[in-house]
Amino acid sequence: MRTLLVWLAGVLTLIGLSPVALAWNMPVGVTDLSRDIYGLHMLIFWISVVIGVVVFGVMFYSLFRYRHSKGAKAANFHENTTVEVIWTAIPLLILIGMAVPATATLKQIYDPSGAELDVMVTGQQWRWRYEYLGEDVAFNSNLATPRAQIRGEEERGEHYLLEVDEPLVLPVNRKVRFLFTSDDVLHAWWVPELAVKQDTVPGFVTENWVRINEPGIYRGQCAELCGVDHGFMPVVVHAVEEDEFDAWLAERQEMASEEAMGVDREWEMDELMERGEAVYGSICVSCHQSEGQGTPPAFPALAGNEELLADLEWHKDTVLNGVPGTAMAAFRSTLNPVELAAVITYTRNAWGNETGDVVQPAEIAEELQ
């Protein structure tokens, strides 16, 4: 069935589609399933074209051939059983002809069995979090387009609003199962080249899968309106050869192990400030702005915030657990103890706050237990 659909799609595309039209069409993609979906799409498209040509052709021919100005008179008849059977049977056969390959494709879409790698994808305002289940590797993926480009102060780059600081790295030729959820509102993880578009729903876990055939970088976006920075939630998937992926995974596991060891040591202020600035730039800046000025009332200023400066415990609790009923999310499951300690220390000592407070990762780890 897959071979037939791809063959039909190829033939029909060569017959009727120009390069300009192809640019407006859905992509063929880089997975067997995406090619099946493309083949199904083109099959139904051309069936619709043929039906349209036949129906409108007959209609316009009849309007012209039997127009009143030529003296045509309408026939007067009550019924014709043969015609009624034909116009019922033909659409039924067409629908069956479309339903059979569509059903076969749907069965594939909803069959994640036999996956060799599981990845949890969590939607957050306004970033993605990826966790390689069972591998002790997890990270956030944030928009990497400079804010100066967004404000129009710099020329836009080639991948404007479609570039991230940490792409999702996947191996080719392995079946990967995705588990989707959300920490706040509805999002939708969409990568056209992979033929994957899945809603992430708070409180629910849905699944999908992919097996990529070709190495490359594949880009997508959040496809569900999710708030003020909805347009700033790109998806970037970097598909690599299996050996390269295994080496990358081992490197990330080593980094995660080193990070975990860092929880137990005492960090200097300068170390935490440097790390905190990086975390703030990737996680917090979209809401609280680069100089901590915020965008009140939804996102209060952090610079000179008297409540924040006066109560360290309140500050920690707010970052870890969020504020119900507001846009302030909980970051206890998004950031690790080192990152949490660093960003709290940074926001208490940047932009002239200068409290002198140093929050150690060990303190945060204890509160997370």
CATH class of 2-109: mainly alpha
Provide CATH code, domain 264-368: 1.10.760.10
pLDDT at 22: 61
CB–CB of 125/331 below 8 Å? no
Q: What is residue 138's three-state secondary structure?
A: strand
Q: What is the pLDDT along the chain (369 residues), one digit of tens a residue?
A: 455 444 555 555 555 445 555 678 889 999 999 999 999 999 999 999 999 999 999 999 998 888 888 888 887 877 888 989 998 999 999 999 999 999 999 999 989 999 999 999 999 988 999 999 999 999 999 999 887 888 888 899 899 999 999 999 999 999 999 999 998 899 999 999 999 999 999 999 999 999 999 999 999 999 999 988 899 999 999 999 999 999 999 999 998 888 877 888 899 999 999 999 999 988 888 788 889 998 888 788 999 888 888 899 999 999 999 888 787 888 888 888 999 999 999 999 999 998 999 999 999 988 887
Token digits for 229? 């920075």
Report the CATH fold assignment for 117-260: Immunoglobulin-like (2.60.40)
**CA–CA dist 187, 172 (Å, integer):** 26
With 0.75 as the threshold, say if the pTM is over it: yes
pLDDT for the residue 8 = 52
β-strands 216-222, 187-191 pairing? antiparallel
CB 26 within 8 A of CB 41: yes
Distances (CA, A) of 37 to 28, 87, 91, 204, 253: 8, 29, 22, 26, 36
Is-contact 2 38, C-beta < 8 A?
A: no
Domain boundaries, given as residue ranges, for the chain: 2-109, 117-260, 264-368
Query: HSE on the CB side for 243, CA within 13 Å?
Result: 0
For residue 68, the model assigns a pLDDT of 82
pLDDT at 333: 83
DSSP 3-state of 207: strand
Instruction: Give me the amino acid identity at 50.
Output: V
Quote the CA–CA distance of 335 and 280 in Å, as a whole number.
11
Q: Helix 337-349 vs helix 361-368: angle between axes, to the nearest 10 degrees?
A: 120
Cα gap 341→248, rounded to integer Å: 27
